A and B are shown apart, each in its own frame.
Chain A
Amino acid sequence: MEKFANQIGFLVLKDDGAVLESGGELENDERSANIFLDLINLTESVDENFMPNSSCERISIVYEDHSYNICMSNRRIYIVKLRNGSANSRMGGLGVSSNSSVYVDANEGNMSSTGAALLT
């Protein structure tokens, strides 16, 4: 899998949870793989009026200095673990990932950080 500058681990899963590829800090990490899978299953029950069934195409789980970014495509689940950039303190991982992935949204990073700031 192509490496991002701040990537510290990755996982590629089949939609049934089998690990196809892995590397970095997530190498052979079946425990995390199962947690991600359960998490994705849960997102299917999210409010249909807001997000129609299985339309959720990306999930970010952001910690203080790193983040997990989950993408679903072609019956595969791609997960990258990114170290947050030092310039963007809290939501750095998000900003970088949205630049390098297919979902380019210029103001995404900003919006998410307002959300996070509100919640903390």
Chain B
Amino acid sequence: MEQQLEKALNEINSQPDTVGCLITNRQGLCLGAAGKINPKMSGIGMALSEQACKLEPNLNPPTIVLYSGNKRCIIQKDGEITGVIYKESSSN
């Protein structure tokens, strides 16, 4: 049933610099995760994307990027689901 989802997650996770990724539903419950990412992050990821959507509720949901040193956390909401990707660039 969730094979498609897992395939997509593994595909995302095989991109350069990607550490982990997950997908969450509207309730902030994790639908699937791949790589080194804590599934508990789904609730906070959802909360962050919801908060950012309040800025301009009439526009499409924005992409949120958190930066910390050479690490990045990218969050994007699309309808009912929200995706979270952890990235760590090796350049530093």
Say if A and B assemble together.
yes
Binding site for B on A (CB under 8 A): 32, 35, 38-39, 42-43, 45-47, 49-52, 55-64, 67-68, 91, 94, 103, 105, 107, 111-112, 114-116, 118-120
Min distance, Cβ B11 to any Cβ of chain A, angstroms:
8
Main secondary structure of the interface of B (DSSP, over half): mixed
Binding site for A on B (CB under 8 A): 12, 15-17, 19, 37-38, 40-41, 44, 47-48, 51-52, 54-56, 59-60, 62-69, 71-74, 76, 78, 83, 85-87, 89, 91
Min distance, Cβ A39 to any Cβ of chain B, angstroms:
5
Main secondary structure of the interface of A (DSSP, over half): mixed
Contacts A61-B55, A62-B63 known; A115 to B85 CB distance under 8 Å? Answer: yes
Q: Is the CB of B83 within 8 A of A63?
A: no
CA distance A111 to B90 in the complex (A): 12
7 pairs, CB–CB < 8 Å, chain A vs chain B = A38-B51, A61-B63, A61-B64, A62-B63, A111-B72, A114-B15, A115-B87
